[in-house]
Amino acid sequence: MTWREIQKDFPILNQRIGEHRLAYLDNAASSQVPQQVVDRLEEYLTREHSNVHRGVHALSQRATESFDQAREKVASFLNAPSSAQCIFTRGTTEGINLVAHGFGRKFLGKGDTIVVSALEHHANIVPWQMLGEERGVSLRVIPMNDRGELLLEELPDLLDDSVKLVCVNHVSNALGTINDVARVVELAHGRDIPVLIDGAQAVPHMKVDVQELGADFYAFSSHKMCGPTGVGVLYAKKKWLDRMNPFLGGGDMILSVTWEGTTFNEAPHKFEAGTPPIMAAIGLGAAIDYLEGIGLDAIGAREAELLAQATERILEVDGVRLYGTAEEKAGVLSFDVEGVHPHDIGTILDSQGVAIRAGHHCAQPVMNRLGIPATARASFAFYNDEEDIDQLIDGVRLVKEIFG
């Protein structure tokens, strides 16, 4: 199968925005959904839809079977020891909040510290600040250099006895840096400190093995890996799931409820109150099949090729400045043009059919560290091509032309 053929799996790409061909380069915000996943969702909605885990009828059994299979696919995708350790959430943000409530409020208290990195998305900052406010827990930050690489050599000094959790993203959404999370885990575990990894930007682009990484918690979202919105996964080690508090209370997460009290069900159900996002989870399962069909290694290599080309070509444009030039980088090109605000870049590129993101990318501390208010960000997926890059570069040249 060629990349050209693979593009045909994404009918949404084959459209015009005004008079221009669509060049979709906002994949780090949300990826597109292949026909195979659309077909699976249609099959579910037209043949299987029902509530799970509680019906005795045929449709409920079908839905339950498909839903459970999706969880098995997730477990195999992450190489988790058991699918019971893969909790369906609404997305990465909810996964991290689940840990803040279930783990943080149970085990952390006054005087404790959480270490986060300078590259975090707000989703891996704000829940910890909220917990800190409530419990008297403070935050400590792993610094980064001007290229957007974490200074992990400084991590050992940050890890004293007060540190109860280390939270770091696998790949930076703002700059594309691939963090050496295995090293973070090694250093933290050396002091018996658990590690949470925000994998939202990693799982679509590389093979992730949670056992090899040794992560205590690993969270990601379906909609950044060719699945539908509304579902994500939190993987956690069994020892934590057994001891953590539930997050939301309600149906499905209990064994029995009386006026005297409630006995909680075991993981994953303990953390999945209410009717889960059945359709989206089944779609995520189909997206995993799709990505594994192409191969994560092949996907990573193709995206690296596109990033290298785009980087070289955009630097040929006078006045373009790149942010995030780490040695190890995923397909994210964060840039601006001297004298032009990124929003104006975004609007002009949009007028040429090029979809990028302009703003702080929910990573204001990263922007503050770099001393800029925002960047324009083009982010690549394996279904992008050289024509998309041509269009991006032409668009950036038009920005230069208009702003003189």
Partner 1 sequence: MTNMRALYQEVILDHNRKPRNFGPLPEATCQATGDNPLCGDHYDIYAVVEDGVIQKVGFHGEGCAISKAAASMMTVRAKGKTVDEAREMIEEFRQMLTGRLDLSGEHSLGHLTVFEGVSQLPQRVKCAVLPWHALDAALRGEEVTSTEGEADVWTEE
Binding stretches for partner 1 (CB under 8 A):
17-20, 339-344, 347-348, 350-351, 358-360, 364, 367, 373-374, 398, 402-404
55 in the Ramachandran plot: left (φ > 0), alpha (ψ -120 to 50) or beta? Answer: beta
What is the rounded distance in angstroms from the CA atom of residue 360 to the CA atom of residue 376?
9
Query: Between residues 108 and 399, which has the closer beta carbon with respect to partner 1?
Result: 399
Among 285, 318, 301, 392, smallest CA distance to 21 is for: 392
Query: Between residues 74 and 349, which has the closer beta carbon with respect to partner 1?
Result: 349
Query: Between residues 155 and 320, which has the closer beta carbon with respect to partner 1?
Result: 320
Among 30, 29, 39, smallest CA distance to 9 is for: 39
- Residue 94 has phi, psi (to 5 degrees) of -65, -35
What is the rounded distance in angstroms from the CA atom of residue 276 to the CA atom of residue 297?
31
Query: Between residues 261 and 404, which has the closer beta carbon with respect to partner 1?
Result: 404
Query: How near is the Cβ of 351 to partner 1 at its closest, in Å?
Result: 5
For the question of residue 362 being annotated catalytic, the response is yes
Pair type for strands 332-337 and 354-355: unpaired
Q: Is 17 exposed, middle or buried (0-12, 13-18, 19+ CB in 10 A)?
A: middle
Q: Is the dihedral of CA 76, 82, 83, 85 positive or negative?
A: negative
Among 307, 286, 298, 364, smallest CA distance to 126 is for: 364
Query: Between residues 43 and 344, which has the closer beta carbon with respect to partner 1?
Result: 344
Q: Angle at CA 249, nearest 5°, toward 247 and 252?
A: 105
Query: How near is the Cβ of 348 to partner 1 at its closest, in Å?
Result: 5
Query: How near is the Cβ of 14 to partner 1 at its closest, in Å?
Result: 18
By the 8 A CB rule, do 383 and 7 touch?
yes
Q: Is the dihedral of CA 384, 386, 391, 393 positive or negative?
A: positive
Query: Between residues 189 and 397, which has the closer beta carbon with respect to partner 1?
Result: 397
Query: How near is the Cβ of 260 to partner 1 at its closest, in Å?
Result: 43
Query: How near is the Cβ of 262 to partner 1 at its closest, in Å?
Result: 37
Query: How near is the Cβ of 19 to partner 1 at its closest, in Å?
Result: 7
Q: Annotated catalytic residue: which of 86, 167, 226, 362? A: 362
Angle between helices 296-315 and 386-403 (to 10 degrees): 30
Q: Give me the active site residues, please.
A: 362
